Amino acid sequence: MPLPTPPSKLGSLLPPDEYKAKARPAKAAKKSAEGDASTAGDYGPASVAQPMIEAANTAAPLRAVAPSAQDAASAPARGRKTKQTAALLQPMPAPAEPAAPVVARNDKPAADKPAAAPARDTGATTKSRSRKPAEAEQQKLFVLDTNVLMHDPSSLFRFEEHDVYLPMMTLEELDNHKKGMSEVARNARQVSRTLDALVADGGPISAGIPLSRLGSREALGRLYFQTKLTDIAPVEGLPEGKADNQILGVVRALQRDRPDRQVVLVSKDINMRIKAHALGLPAEDYFNDQVLEDSDLLYTGVRELPQDFWTKHAKGMESWQDTKTGTTYYRVTGPLVASMLVNEFVYLEPQNGEPTFHAIVRELNGKTALLQTLRDYSHHKNNVWGITARNREQNFALNLLMNPEIDFVTLLGQAGTGKTLVALAAGLAQVLDDKRYNEIIVTRATVPVGEDIGFLPGTEEEKMQPWMGAFDDNLEVLQKTDDAAGEWGRAATQELIRSRLKVKSMNFMRGRTFVDKYLIIDEAQNLTPKQMKTLVTRAGPGTKIVCLGNIAQIDTPYLTEGSSGLTYVVDRFKGWGHSGHVTLARGERSRLADYASDIL
């Protein structure tokens, strides 16, 4: 027999949606009770023990109530289902003390979790509120020197949640350096435009300008300018007219006026940082674009495998040979795979007469790596424009330079390791023999080691010619490799090489696009990360870029081994499938040059 129609009073207490939501447990209880009844043949206390929906006489919330054990014991053994249900649906008085509504009875401990949730939320809110003052106390105020802005025009937005302060002398020095066509002048003008955009409609300057106004999500601090010029006491014992000393005076005044803030001077000038430390003022270098502090930690592109490599990685190994190239592929799985990078060279030192194993990591898929053996460019039959590799690293470099799938190659090494020679030989072989590229373009940073010799006459190529002595020396070596052609043949080869080799100035690279070119950037250690980005983004379809340099020979002011553009691209491009890097370790110029590099 079906249950009687619920009282109309129940429908008047709740909206339809809420009524349906609270009636679902009752329907489930009804089905369970009917199932028990159909099995037992009667309606005993067990069927009555399911929770049912009750409505109070007043507007009290509905509760699911189950009869107590005493009521269940005193209930008759048999009874009519309609009477029991009607008795349970009778209105009950509201409880004296408010209790959390219970939808269905559950004896598991998880039933207490909803009641404990508000307590946890309250505690978390209190804890986060108590942390806010501590975070505000840790917020720093960075005073920027002019050389930081001229080194990185976007440095204003690199200090995350901290505030930035610009002294008036910093603005004066920016104005003095804005004229000209140099990279420093361009950076100064870019900083001026950025400051103008921040100041425009930015509210009162004394209150600070939010650095996030220009859309930077990382910059959460504010920009402050020096608005008071009269209360800055000069530093005793230092000349007042020098700009650096005036900036030090501003830092000291900020420490005095804002004792609750940590004021830090940021400068690329080493001597200025030393003077600040001598005066008891905290000072730091600009580290945002610095890839690493120790050059020994720079990625070398070469990994020596342990002697037990095949023992630990031979399980499930697959190998096959490429008939076109003659190379062998190995698919290995083991603990070293997790630390490998794509296009990283691996080698195993031979022992007990075993053959040498040189390979490159072609693919990485989880714990599995695909290794490909290399072409041996140390053998005379595989020479590149008459040049053969003299050591292991040169062989690795030639495998990168001669691979058409590698678009970006970086070669580091000391003087005499053969960086320029192998790069130029690979370029000539692919331009003149393989017809893979149209021409070779050579450029370099024009940073003098000594005094500047002034303006140079002639065309762009003639002006760059004094800077290209290294390429001329290597071209002479490459032209002497073919003695069979005779004097006339060498002259014709030299003319052919000159027609396919162009020397370009780095100052006119902006806006250009190189298509099917072999671009060599020499002395790349003297480039800033921004200059390196400008050059690398010139590459069009079918172009290969080769960067050469020695980070121990940096001549650009304010550049270090960690902040050099060459170090920057080596770190950022490692692991990309179309780039490769090799650090050449062994000098091959002469025994005199090798000995001088070691002892001097």
The pLDDT tens digits of the residues spanning 312-366 come to 888 888 999 988 888 999 999 988 999 999 999 999 988 777 788 999 999 999 8
Compare 426 and 558 and report the one with higher pLDDT.
Answer: 426
Residue 433 has pLDDT above 80, yes or no: yes
- Residue 273: the pLDDT is 93
pLDDT for residue 147 is more than 70: yes
Q: Which residues contact 286 (CB under 8 A, 6 or more apart)?
A: 148, 151, 152, 155, 266, 267, 268, 563
Q: Cβ atoms within 10 A of the Cβ of 337, count?
A: 17
* Rounded Cα distance, 67 and 87, in Å: 11
Strand order in the sheet with 328-333: 302-304, 345-348, 357-365, 368-373, 328-333, 318-321
CA–CA dist 90, 85 (Å, integer) = 9
Rounded Cα distance between 249 and 329, Å, is: 65
How far apart CA 337 and CA 303 sit, in angstroms, is 12
Over residues 570-591, the mean pLDDT reads 88
Query: By C-alpha distance, which of 461, 443, 593, 454 is closest to 523?
Result: 443
The token duo for 582 is 């090799």
Evaluated on CA atoms 80, 81, 87, 88, the torsion sign reads positive
pLDDT of residue 87: 46
Burial class (CB in 10 A: 0-12, 13-18, 19+), 359: buried
Check residue 584 and give its pLDDT. 92
Would you say 178 and 185 are in contact if contact means Cβ atoms under 8 Å apart?
Answer: yes
- 549 pLDDT band, cuts 50/70/90, is very high
pLDDT tens digits, 84-98: 444 444 555 544 444
Q: What average pLDDT does the chain have?
A: 76
pLDDT at 48 over 60: no
Q: Where residue 214 falls among pLDDT bands split at 50, 70, 90?
A: confident
Mean pLDDT of 364-384: 91
- The C-alpha atoms of residue 140 and residue 254 are separated, in whole angstroms, by 12
Segment 281-308 mean pLDDT:
83
- Which of the residue ranges 38-42, 220-224, 365-369, 457-461 would you say has the lowest mean pLDDT? 38-42
Residue 294: which pLDDT band, with cuts at 50, 70 and 90? Answer: low
* Alpha carbons 380 and 284: distance in angstroms, whole number: 53
| 376 — pLDDT class (breaks 50, 70, 90) | very high
- Confidence bin at 56 (pLDDT 50/70/90): very low
Domains of the chain: 1-86 (no CATH), 136-284 (3.40.50.1010), 299-373 (no CATH), 390-599 (3.40.50.300)
Token pair belonging to 396: 């690795």
DSSP 352: T
